[in-house]
Chains A and B, each alone.
Chain A
Amino acid sequence: MGADCTAGEGKLRTPTVAKRRTAPLGGARPAGVSSGAAVMIPEPPMTFPRALAGRLGPLVLLLALAGCAEPREELPVNTRLGGDFTLTDHNGGAFRLADQRGRVVLMFFGYTHCPDICPATLARVSQVYRNLRDAGDADRVQPLFITFDPARDTPEHLREYVPWFKANVIGLTGGEAEIRAVAEQYGVVFLKSGEGEPEYDFTHSDYVYLLDQQGRVRKLYPSDFNIDEVTDDVQSLL
């Protein structure tokens, strides 16, 4: 099926997924830096999320279970991650994951003030959705975007944001505690940087979650996942 499992999807993946960044995004990453790589002088990060370090132990273990299936083999069920939840959708209504039974769900956590990874990932998820729609499977697939920035990502704001991606994405928000609880269920870590400043942003995990028709976690992808691989995986669950 041509699924490339080498980019961070190692069978028994080690805690590191750093290599995944070598996968070209949309195949368009400019060819390597010419000889004599540029000398980068990074400032210290705006904030060091030291607090994260302590919380990552369990996450790393969980990720080890979210390995890559052999082509055409059934995707393993990840029993350590996931679970039902209720949040508020971008129309202001209650959204319960359990109501998606019968649909394969692609779920991503992020925030709309993020200009780089979040819109790029949503665009890729949307492309997967459109591929599936073209294959006649639109009714059985549901992309979800869960914000961890409810202060700015209100239902009203999400209502203006998610339709732009033209992929029937449901934007989800809620109370801070509610969102934190969902993030914990799924092993998502996020930390606000620049707390109290108007231009705060987040350090966050950026995995995309594949849930089967029973709402069980079947696979995690790095945010620069291969679109065909995910499309194939979704179809294997339909």
Chain B
Amino acid sequence: MMYKAFFNGVAGAALLALAGAASADGDLVLEKAWLRAVPPVSPTMAGYFTLRNDGDRAVELKGAKTDIAGMAMLHDTETTDDGQARMVHLSGITLEPGDQATFAPGGKHLMLMKVAEIPEAGEQVEICLTFSDHDDLCADFPVLRDAP
């Protein structure tokens, strides 16, 4: 299924900036979406969101895509007991009905690599989450300096 389910919500830009983008595709609800603003010379950015499965069947989140990045992946930052942080690639996250995945600083994040031009704080970037068995879910991620 190649068609994209665009759903940028009814909230105005101001509200989006405050609350993070909210997007829904009937069964999937994407909330608290934002990208961390980084200096313009950075080659990478991290994005965060929560994704809830309100449907009645399991879905598997596989990755993401966006025009601004050459590559987008699901990552986790693991911190060991010794205080070592490292990033690992997640190949997919299965959400059973009622499950929620939380991507937040210091943990799971959307990793955007090969970002040609780093967007500034205040801008919005469209990012589509991709699934193995579901249409893409697209939303505008506001670029913020700090967690909303």
Bound CA–CA A35/B100 (angstroms): 8
User: Which of A165, A205, A207 has the largest number of chain B CB atoms within 10 A?
Assistant: A205
Interface membership of B140, Cβ < 8 A = no
Is the beta-carbon distance between B106 and A224 smaller than 8 angstroms?
yes
List B66-112 residues whose CB lies under 8 Å from chain A.
75-96, 98-102, 104-107, 109, 111-112
Cβ contacts under 8 Å, A60 to chain B: 82
Asked if A49 and B86 sit within 8 Å, CB to CB, the answer is yes
Q: Nearest chain A CB to B23's CB is how many angstroms away? A: 15
* Cα distance, A67 to B52, chains bound together (Å): 39
Contact with B along A12-25 (1 / 0, CB 8 A): 00011110110001
Q: What is the distance, in angstroms, from A232's C-beta to the closest C-beta of chain B?
A: 20
* Chain-B contact segment, one of A74-82, A97-105, A112-120, A175-183: A112-120
Q: Which of B39, B78, B93, B148 is A38 in contact with, Cβ under 8 Å? A: B93
Task: State which residues 199-238 of A face B: CB under 8 Å.
Answer: 199, 201-207, 222-224
Q: How far is the CB of B81 from chain A (nearest CB, A)?
A: 4
Count of residues in B whose CB is under 8 Å from the partner chain: 53
B42 interface neighbour in A33, A39, A115, Cβ under 8 Å: A115
Interface size counted on chain A using CB atoms at 8 A: 61
How distant is B10 from chain A, measured CB to nearest CB, in Å? 21
Residues of B near A120 (CB, < 8 A) are 36, 105-106
Which residues of chain A are near B92, meaning CB under 8 Å?
A: 41
Are B96 and A26 within 8 A (Cβ)? no
Asked whether B94 lies within 8 Å of A39 as measured between CB atoms, the reply is yes
In the complex with contacts A18-B81, A21-B79, A42-B90, A115-B44 CB distance below 8 A: yes
25 A-B residue pairings within 8 Å (CB atoms): A15-B81, A16-B81, A18-B81, A20-B79, A25-B106, A26-B105, A26-B146, A28-B148, A35-B98, A39-B95, A40-B90, A43-B88, A63-B83, A112-B39, A115-B44, A116-B106, A116-B111, A117-B106, A119-B36, A160-B40, A164-B39, A189-B84, A206-B83, A207-B83, A223-B85
Task: Give B residues with C-beta under 8 Å from A.
Answer: 31-32, 36, 38-46, 50, 52, 75-96, 98-102, 104-107, 109, 111-113, 145-148
